[in-house]
A and B are shown apart, each in its own frame.
Chain A
Amino acid sequence: MSDTIDLNIRIDHLTRVEGHGNIVVDMEAGELTQCKLEIVEAPRFFEAMLEGRLFTEAPHITCRICGICSVGHTTAALRAAETAIGFSPSRQTVQLRKAMLHAEFIQSHILHLYFLAAPDFLGVGSVIPLAETHKDVVKRALRLKKLANDACAVIGGRHVHPISLVVGGFTKLPTVEELQGLRDTIVAALPDVVETVALFKTLEIPHFLRKTEYISLKSDEEYALYEGDIYSSYGVMLPPRRYRHVTNEHVLDHSTAKRTRTAFGTFMVGALARVNNNFDQLSEGAKAVADELGFKTPCFNPFMNNVAQLIETRHCIDDLVAILDDLIATGIVDEIPDPQPKAGRGVGAVEVPRGILYHDYEIDAEGILTQVNCIIPTGQNLSNIEADMRELVHEVIDEPKDQIALKLEMLVRAYDPCISCSTHILDVEFV
């Protein structure tokens, strides 16, 4: 039946995603001639900007790669720079950074679930009409988002481009009273999370399965976000400094090992990958959410990434409370960061809401960055998104064209792609 079909879909400047991308699908007589997610975002040259700058500047410059993942970029930059100069931050610093990162996960996931994804399920163009029809829902979303932003404000000054996170530690530390206040507001917000789960339980997630490889960080200690080794659902474990083995295979590296991996095809990073790979380490609350929403590992439905985000939201809230409890119990000690430059190379691999983010810095003895490489999650997901698109088109080919277009949009959006981030997108060149 599909072998007689002609189909032309072009969605320019895909909305409700970060950055500019187009969906292009061409089918002639049932033959898929084009099926791609075009990235039209202007390249921004962050690596070039960074070369020649001081290592301590890296976090504050690279967070400007992306406003939504700005804590993520900051964290990756801090970790890369500190690894390069051989500096180990204090436990307090790490705890506070983890709290920031958790808050960013909450903020980003809530934003995606309510503002970017939910309108599709509720059949509207954006959250704005929902402000009329579902005022309570929108208010709840805003409350949860505010919570995350407040947490970032208390710890790092603000969410978008945090201020006090610097190489070595913090330029200003929150007080125990502030942390206590924050903890209380977070705990008070738990019913909102429960309501959110109830809402998403009523939404119908498209059924679509395609087996793929899931890559995330993994750690013995905890549900890996801040640090860990690179882990593939196909069982491979790599230290962060060998990240190029997972990221560069398609275009640049033609080694045998690479070709073997290409045989597996594309891979996915992000919430679904993490939940699939590290389910056991989720908080009890998060596991209960998974249960309630019928999430079972391994899950091969990319649309379920939304559900995975919700599970992680709960996990991050639970763990944020645990971190705050710990900090409140131990108290805050004033430390003034004073990291000294040293020649070296460091890779910071950090989970950010959309997947693993790598910053790779080479620093000279004066602390000047001589080589910089940043690889962002959406860049890693692109090939996988396209592979999903190709398969999805075939599955839904009998539906009306606008339905196909909507499904494709929803699919792309389910990945929560962050195209602004795509400083390095061309590692997976396909345009």
Chain B
Amino acid sequence: MAKPRIAFFDFACCEGCQLQVINLEAELLDVLDHVDIVTFREAMSEKSDDYDIAFIEGSITRASDIPRLEKIRENATVLIALGACATIAGVNALKNRRTPQENLRIVYGDDGDKFETFPVRPIDQVVEVDYYLHGCPIDKNEFLEMVKALLMGTAPKQWTSAVCVECKLRENECVYDLGRLCMGPISRGGCDAICPAYGNSCEACRGILPDANIPSMVEVLKAHGASEAEIERRFTNFTAIDKLVQEMEQPQ
């Protein structure tokens, strides 16, 4: 069987997710036994338009990104959103809280009009996405599992349970008990609760679960002393674009 051909592409992002792939130090060479990486700009000069699986990193932030992404979708059999920027617009979506003009003025002052920008979108708002690899950054082991599943011709696991599940399985002390707030109860897991395991809050970088009980989460945050503004911040770190969150913010 011919090795599947894999390509990586990046849009607006920090390229940390691609770095996580390179960070698979112990497994990288074995992965290369199973697949051909044909495009990976961050790490190689070779390029090709002939690939089976495309991993897309980054958010779409300007009109000129769209045809490029559409072209990739056309070429690829399987298209995977790699990391929070691509799956849920991630930290980039923070900019959507202001108009593009305001953003340009704040950062570039009078030079602002030299740039094109529009409200940030995750890539599934532009093309169809087959699978999601969530996280900011992605978990490199989850990437490996995804590659294995694809090689076996089966659907990769897409998480539907909360971060708390993995957090408790690791036997972490709840960070609420350490006096911090945490979005773990309503956030998509798959990260092995790495942030709470290191004593810090879950910031929902994998997005909020589709059937999350947002009103109750708000109550929990309040009960732990969070102000309205603080709650708003918690809900918008990585999920400013989340439909559920935006609905919550709509005045009743």
Contact = CB atoms under 8 A, between A and B. Distances in A.
A and B touch in the complex (CB under 8 A): yes
Interface of A: 13, 15-20, 41-49, 51-54, 57, 60-61, 64-68, 70, 111, 115-116, 119, 125-128, 131, 135, 138-139, 142-143, 145-146, 149, 156-161, 163-164, 166, 170-172, 336, 420, 423-424, 426, 429, 431
Contact of A60 (B42, B115, B203): B203
B194 A49 contact: no
A51 to B, nearest CB: 7
B247 interface: no
Contacts of A49: 91, 94-95, 97
A135 B203 CA distance: 40
A53 B233 contact: yes
Which of A70, A125, A145, A160 has most B Cβ within 10 Å?
Answer: A160
B90 interface: yes
B219 interface: no
A41 B115 CA distance: 11
Nearest to A40: B64
A60 B180 CA distance: 15
Given A15-B47, A64-B90, 8 more contacts: A15-B41, A49-B97, A54-B233, A157-B195, A163-B198, A164-B198, A164-B200, A420-B15
A42 B42 contact: no
Given A142-B25, A145-B23, A149-B25, A61 B94 contact: yes
Contacts of B75: none
A99 B197 CA distance: 20
18 contacts: A20-B41, A42-B62, A43-B107, A45-B106, A47-B107, A49-B94, A49-B95, A57-B233, A60-B203, A64-B91, A68-B15, A68-B16, A131-B32, A161-B16, A163-B199, A171-B178, A171-B198, A426-B114
Contacts, number: 174
Sorted nearest first, the 4 A-B pairs with minimum C-beta distance are: A67-B16, A126-B44, A171-B199, A172-B199
B29 A131 contact: yes
A65 B25 contact: no
Interface string B146-179: 0000000000000000000000000000010011
Contact of B95 (A48, A65, A128, A336): A48
B126 interface: no
A119 B15 contact: no
Contact of A66 (B14, B22, B41, B107): B14
B61 interface: yes
A422 to B, nearest CB: 11
Contacts of B18: 67
Contacts of A146: 25-26
A44 B20 CA distance: 21
Interface in B79-138: 90-92, 94-95, 97-98, 102-104, 106-108, 111, 114-115, 117, 136-137
- Which interface residue of B13, B32, B37, B104 has the most chain A CB atoms within 10 A? B13
B233 A160 contact: no
A41 B61 CA distance: 11
Contacts of A17: 42
B194 to A, nearest CB: 6
B233 A44 contact: no
B11 interface: yes
B17 A45 contact: no
Interface in B214-252: 230, 233, 237
A244 B200 CA distance: 34
A43 B19 contact: no
B1 interface: no
A77 B109 CA distance: 22
B45 A119 contact: yes
A143 B28 CA distance: 11
Given A163-B200, A172-B199, A128 B44 contact: yes
A224 B165 CA distance: 43
A100 B6 CA distance: 32
Interface residues of B, number: 63
A424 B194 contact: no
Contact of A128 (B15, B32, B104): B32
Contacts of A46: 107
A42 B65 contact: yes
Contacts of B103: 45, 48
A95 B65 CA distance: 43
Nearest to A124: B45
B29 A126 contact: no
A43 B42 CA distance: 18
B46 interface: yes
A146 B29 CA distance: 13
B200 to A, nearest CB: 4
Contacts of B2: none
B12 interface: yes
Contacts of B102: 48
Given A138-B29, A426-B108, A42 B19 contact: no
Nearest to A338: B179
A126 B48 CA distance: 14
Contacts of B10: 20
B115 A57 contact: no
Contacts of B200: 157, 163-164, 166, 171-172
A44 B95 contact: yes
Contacts of B175: 171
A128 B137 contact: no
Contact of A142 (B12, B29, B95, B106): B29
Contacts of B97: 49, 52
Contacts of A111: 22
B98 A125 contact: no
Nearest to B138: A160
B28 A70 contact: no
Contacts of A426: 108, 111, 114
B178 A336 contact: yes
Contact of A149 (B23, B90, B107, B233): B23
